[in-house]
Amino acid sequence: MAGSNLNNTHNPPLWLLAELTYSCPLQCPYCSNPMDIASYKDELSTDDWLRVLREARKMGATQLGFSGGEPLVRKDLENLIKESRDLGYYTNLITSGVGMDGERIAAFKEAGLDHIQVSFQASDEELNNFIAGTDSFQHKLEMARQVKIQGYPMVLCFVLHRQNTDQIKDIIELAIALEADYLELATTQYYGWAKHNQEQLLPTKEQIIAAEKVAHEYQEKMKGKMRIFYVVPDYFEDRPKPCMNGWGNIFLTITPDGTALPCHSARIIPGLELPNVNDHSIDWIWNDSPDFKKFRGYEWMKEPCRSCDEKEKDFGGCRCQALMLTGDASNTDPVCSKSPNHGKLVEDIRRIEANAKQNIIEKPLVFRNMRASKKLITSTGS
């Protein structure tokens, strides 16, 4: 164990998210990548990644997620998987399935990949391809089948939002038809592109209540056959999610250019120094960098979090959400009903809902691609 850990009370980074690239053949408008993806052209080399993986593993990281963008775009993925598995990581591939074929899945298996999660955009071809911005549905079905054929349990992920939440029954039936072992019904989180497109993505309360009912019925019905995970969007709750299980507590993201972040969205928080693995060791970044200390523990908290008896449960919620909705990342996440800004969030949701019911579209849906990113960078001057 690294010497500097002995004097600290915090955990080592248990979860390493390796965002290998921002390139992606899909254009999902709910993508959580930053909107200025076009500004980051540099990607870490294979050797850089191997060094990052070795250093984090030595500190105690066990879970490793290969993500992106679309991680399949990286030609060295097989190599990175093999090295990671040899280091003792539990390796998760989080993918759209586009860029994969039976042969490549076999190569991943050979390299020791533990788990593949394939995402879908909808239960029918038309909506799936519209949301993904590419004709990918049939290929995804084939990849889901291939994953199973090659001896992996099938883990499917559907990201839910206003446009597909009403399909939940068909989505679950599709998962059953594909003989999925796990089904993740992931609610859109409003970061990056999703935040930009929120007016068109946020489901209505009625949609959520109906979807929740269907999800719970199937959870009961499929007990022992398929595990279904369903989480209500936090905007509709009155307590915040324990985001990242606390800042700098277990989670470490490395972006394609080597920037180390306490969460994949943290780049938006002003005042961070954004340490890069090209300049610093993972040990220094995790234990000594100002960024990872900034919201670690409870000292940084303001009221109502500071004196709250639930702070150890939810860590004050999400720093990025606090920033986006209140202008200050050290405020209480306004999802919390104890936050003085909670009323404003509720009002916002009501306004979006009212617009949704009348089909008022204030902004067009912006698909996530480099062209749109460049345009947004130019228009905001950032």
List of residues contacting other proteins (CB under 8 A): 1, 12, 14-15, 58-60, 62-63, 65, 88, 90, 92, 114-115, 117, 151-153, 155, 181-182
Q: Decide whether 163 or 187 has the Cβ nearer to other proteins.
A: 187
CB nearer to other proteins: give 227 or 338: 227
Distance between CA atoms of 36 and 108, rounded to whole angstroms? 31
The SS3 call for residue 17 is strand
DSSP per-residue codes, 79-100: HHHHHHHHHT-EEEEEE-STT-
Pick between residue 63 and residue 355 the one whose CB is nearest to other proteins: 63
Q: Which is nearer to other proteins, 155 or 345 (CB)?
A: 155
332 vs 316: CA distance, rounded Å: 5
Q: Give the shortest CB-241-to-other proteins separation in angstroms.
A: 15
Which CB atom, from 51 or from 148, has the smaller least distance to other proteins? Answer: 148
User: Cis peptide leading into 69, omega within 30 of 0?
Assistant: yes
Task: Give the DSSP H or E segment for 194.
Answer: helix 192-196
What's the angle, vertex CA 188, arms to CA 351 and CA 102, rounded to 5? 155
Nearer to other proteins, 15 or 120 (CB): 15
CB of 1 to other proteins, least distance (A): 6
CB of 358 to other proteins, least distance (A): 39
Min dist. Cβ of residue 14 to other proteins (A): 7
**AA identity, residue 375:** K
Tokens representing residue 115 in the block = 């788990």
- Closest distance to other proteins from the beta carbon of 260 (Å): 19
The per-residue b/e assignment along 133-146, b for 16 or more CB within 10 angstroms, e otherwise, is: bbebbebbbebbeb
Task: Report the DSSP pairing between strands 227-230 and 90-95.
Answer: unpaired
Contact 52, 277 (CB under 8 A): yes
Q: Which residues contact 219 (CB under 8 A, 6 or more apart)?
A: 228, 230
Residue whose CB is less far from other proteins, 153 or 343:
153
* Nearer of residues 146 and 163 to other proteins, judged by Cβ: 146
87: tokens are 């280091």
Q: How far apart are CA 7 and CA 237, in angstroms?
A: 38
Minimum distance between the CB of residue 357 and other proteins, rounded to whole angstroms?
36
What is the smallest separation between the CB atom of 115 and other proteins, expressed in angstroms? 4
DSSP, res 188? P
Smallest gap from Cβ 64 to other proteins, in A, equals 10
**How many helices, marked H, and strands, marked E, lie in the chain?**
15, 9
Q: What is the distance between the alpha carbons of residues 296 and 330, in angstroms, rounded to a whole number?
A: 11
Q: Which two tokens stand for residue 350?
A: 């009501």
Q: 108 vs 152, which CB is nearer to other proteins?
A: 152
Three-state DSSP class for residue 226: coil
Other beta carbons less than 10 A from residue 302's beta carbon = 12
Distance in Å, CB of 234 to other proteins, minimum: 18
